[in-house]
Structure 1
Amino acid sequence: MTTNPPKPTILLRAEERPSERRTPLTPEGAAEVEAAGIRVLVESSTTRVYPDEEYRAQGLEIVPARSWLDADPDVVVLGIKELPDEPAQLRHRHIYFGHAYKGQQGAAELLRRFVAGGGELLDLEYLVNSSGQRVVAFGYWAGFVGGALGALQLAGELTAPLVPMSLDELAGKLESAGTRLTGATAVVTGAFGRAGRGATDALVLAGVGVSRWDRDDTRDLDSDALVAHDLLVHCVHANVPQPPFLTEADRTRPGRRLRVLADVTADVPSDLNLLPVSNRLTSWSEPVRRIWDDPVPLDAIVIDNLPSLLPQQASQDFSSGLVPILPGLFTGDPVWGRAAATFHGAITGLELTAEV
């Protein structure tokens, strides 16, 4: 007598961070994955932009939050942001933004948890094609929200705490702020990538004049020209160390008008931070931090889940890119193989032990 092998299973976990409203799989996307022969379990969540009922209406099974902790080791756990601090040993394959490959705070400890449990991190940031280009990302909406928040702060109309909103609501705020931004200018670094395009679109809605800088402009960066703008929206995704874009020496640079820094990349805990004048994240409750007081005040916005302020648009966009490649997780698609290789490369050389 023969038995059928267990069905490949993905568990969509509930997010730990209260402000995280996004999901990597919309109800329709999850149903498409299940139709492709993969079982999809959905943890119940009161903060996810799509309520449980919408997943249930697609015929998907809803399970309690944190069910992944006791799930079979073959279950793949899919999320967006950080895992809880426990358990100390992670035994599943986890797909999420681990932020563990650039020397970020806590990165080594997280990787040790995977090694101790025999699990694996398939980081969403490192799902790339053979040319090294990301195949799925939240970048456009991260840039759009980053540019929008920067423009609102420049206009004196950014209020805290931040709350999720619709695209129409945010667009209305930008158009209103535009009446106070006549003559304002912004520079967007990494302007022709996903995030840079989003930032540019938001700034145009606010009526801000935009200088679009890409690699050629930042390779030999003109610091005088950079600080002559009112707003910097930083969208460069750095993989190797390079000279910083803004340093303490720029505080007193003649002609500095720069008053707001919106750091979409948010690599502040990393050695790859290209804006070392800013070294801490900000939050939804306190979105702005003063960096310099004089001779011109400089405020920084450094939020690491910007797209969650537009959770529906961001989730729909991301899910549409992820759904087609998820079946390849179980069939040896090179995209997933490259992500696994990145993880195993990251743990090589660490002083890892079975004890965490």
Structure 2
Amino acid sequence: MQQVHLWLRDEVKPFEQRTALTPSDAEKLIKEFNFKITVEKSVTRAFDDEEYVKVGCQLVESNSWITQAPKLEENDNFYILGLKELPLGNTQLGDIQVPHLLSQRHIFFAHCFKRQSDWKDTMSRFVQAEPRPGQILDLEFLNLDNGRRVAAFGYAAGFNGMAMGLLTYCKQKLHSNDLEVLNEIVKPFKNRTELVNHIKDLLSKLDHTPKCLVLGALGRCGSGSVKCAELCGIPESHLIKWDLNETKAGGPFPQLSTDVDILVNDIYLSGEIKPFLTMEMAQKGDRRMSVFIDVSCDVTNPFNPFPINNQVTTFDRPVRRVDNTNNLPLDVIAIDHLPTMTPQESSDEFSNALVTYLAELRNVNFSNEQGETEGIRVWLRANQLFEKKVQEFKQEL
């Protein structure tokens, strides 16, 4: 059994503060499973660099994986771990020239396996690398034998999505729909309790309770949205929960626009479906909804069920106003990393779920099709999915 070398990279996405591996879980991998762990310095990560050093990690400069990390042909037991997208190829990152082609094995959310608009560019960076192509083990598709994901930020995304919806609605009403106030930078909260207390304080200043609807309410994201609304004091009469039974007939659904104040999209888009809400419907005079939170953020997916939203927003500019019919704004929030509103809590939950399967990497042989344990099969399936996407990519060249 060879030693696994795990390299935790710094995140380049603006405002990202989460990590896939916390110091306590890094310590577990080092002490119990003989991992070697390298951690890049970070000024944004929710955990201080020194916390990693104290548990035995080697600290290196931010983004140094680009020039120092071994390629697959040099070390088959080396993995680069991150969360969000990699720096763009052929760009300058400080003093480092970022190459387009990548020959390492990366574990992260690649967002390219569902034919997103830039999926070919992402795949090309790995597939066309020589002499040995790189590899993606996508965190979104690390699944158990029963199909359930081993680790996900879904609950946190849904929770924080509803929180953003309630915050935005309160600001609309308390500040006369002033878009500049709505677009004040969103700073992270210590934990969900602090976030909920802040929302409850704002809601107490309103003379009414907003009516909310959660799409995908029975899923991981949806359950987070529902829980947030409940903790913030939204009564059951004002919290509508839709899931497959309510949407199986196919859209569009006019009541999403006319019957609620806040709409939260938490669905998991796995294939083609009819639009749930069109811009034409949103521009009608009977629209009541003023806040739409697109937690799913499938804006680059050709089957996006919400054509009213075609771009993501950011923590420094969270709201995009897409309509103002009858002086009633329709404000869209589509931040694609909502869990970083509560970065330490979200990271703790994710890392705690993932670490058991990271430990299994020491037993994985990617040349085998069958694994002896479920933990091994998690990684073999991820590799098989990547190889399948490689073939799809090559067929469309």
Are 1:300 and 2:332 an aligned pair? Answer: yes
Match of 2:99, SS state, is coil
* Matching of residue 7 in structure 1 with residue 3 in structure 2: yes
| Cα separation, 2, equivalents of 1:346 and 1:109 | 13
Between the aligned partners of 1:306 and 1:349, the Cα distance in structure 2 is 31
SS in 2 for 1:319: helix
- Does the residue aligned with 1:11 lie in a helix, a strand or coil? strand
Q: What does residue range 228-307 of structure 1 map to in structure 2 within 5 Å?
A: 228-252=259-283, 255-295=286-326, 296-307=328-339
Tell me the equivalent position of 1:178. 203
- CA–CA distance in structure 2, aligned partners of residues 56 and 274 of structure 1: 46
- Specify which of 19, 41, 45 is matched with residue 44 of structure 1: 41
Gaps of 5+ in 2: 89-97, 175-181, 365-375
2:19 partner SS: coil
Alignment pair present for 1:16 and 2:16: no
Structure 1 length normalisation: TM-score? 0.93
Q: Distance in 2 between matches of 1:83 and 1:42?
A: 16
CA contact (8 A) 2:276 2:306 kept: yes
Question: What's the CA shift string for 1:210-260, capped at 9, x where partnerless?
Answer: 111111112125724322111111000111111121112322557431111
Query: What whole-Å deviation, never above 9, does each CA across 1:106-145 have from its counterpart, x for those lacking one?
Result: 2211101101221111111111122322121011111111
Give me the whole-angstrom Cα distance separating, in 1, the residues matched to 2:143 and 2:280.
37
Moved more, 327-336 or 139-148: 327-336
CA contact (8 A) 1:155 1:181 kept: no
SS in 1 for 2:151: coil
**Gap change, CA 1:94 and 1:187, over 3 Å in 2:** same
The C-alpha deviation readout for 1:4-46, integer Å capped at 9, x for no partner, is x752111011111231100011000111112212211111111
- The Cα of 1:197 is off from its aligned counterpart by 1.2
Q: Who is 1:148 aligned against? A: 163
The answer as to whether partners of 2:159 and 2:226 remain within 8 angstroms in 1 is: yes
For the 8 Å contact 1:187–1:232, the answer to whether it is kept is: yes
> What TM-score results when the alignment is normalised by the length of structure 2?
0.84
Deviation at residue 195 of structure 1 after TM alignment: 1.0
Which of 307, 317, 320 is 2:349 aligned to? 317
1:176 deviates by: 1.0
Q: Residues 178, 146 of structure 1: CA spacing in aligned structure 2 closer, same or farther, 3 A cutoff?
A: same
Deviations 1:316-354 (A, max 9, x none): 000010001112223231111111112111121324899
Which structure 1 segments of 5+ residues have no match? none
- Cα deviation for residue 264 of structure 1 reads 0.5
Pair 1:93–1:181, CA change in 2 (3 A) = farther
| Corresponding residue number in structure 2 for 1:81 | 84
Q: Distance in 2 between matches of 1:55 and 1:317?
A: 18
2:55 matches 1:58? yes
Question: d(CA) in 1 for partners of 2:352 and 2:103?
Answer: 28
Distance 1:144 1:175, change over 3 A: same
* Contact 1:189/1:235, CA 8 A, preserved across alignment: yes
Give the direction of change, closer, same or farther, for the CA distance of 1:224–1:254 in structure 2 (3 Å limit): farther
- Any idea what SS the aligned residue of 2:14 has? coil
Aligned to 2:378: 335
The runs of at least 4 aligned residues of structure 1 exceeding 3 Å deviation read 252-255, 351-354
Distance 1:181 1:241, change over 3 A: farther
Q: In 1, Cα distance between the equivalents of 2:12 and 2:207?
A: 38
Report sequence identity in percent.
Answer: 35
2:118 to 98, 102, 106: 106
Verify the 8 A CA contact 1:102 1:271 in the aligned structure 2: no
Post-superposition offset of 1:82 = 1.0
RMSD over aligned Cα atoms: 2.0
Match of 2:29 in 1: 33
3-state DSSP of counterpart to 1:174? helix
Structure of higher RCO (CA pairs closer than 8 Å, 6+ residues apart) = 1
Structure 1 position 344 matched with structure 2 position 352: no
SS in 1 for 2:18: coil
Contact 1:112 1:352 survives alignment (8 Å): no
CA contact (8 A) 1:223 1:250 kept: no
1:27 partner letter: P
In structure 2, give the amino acid aligned to 1:345. K
| Whole-angstrom distance in 1 between the partners of 2:13 and 2:252 | 39
* Structure 2 residue corresponding to 1:226, chosen from 248, 251, 256: 256
| Separation of aligned partners in 2, 1:181 and 1:171 | 19
Which structure 2 residues correspond to residues 191-210 of structure 1 after superposition, within 5 A? 191-208=217-234, 209-210=238-239
3-state SS of the aligned residue for 2:128?
helix
Give the residue type in structure 1 aligned to 2:101. Q
- The answer to whether the 8 Å contact 2:116/2:301 transfers is yes
Deviation at 1:99, TM superposition (A): 0.7
1:121 to 136, 141, 152: 136
Residue pair 2:4, 2:361 contacting (<8 A) in 1 also: no
Is 176-185 or 265-274 further displaced after alignment?
176-185
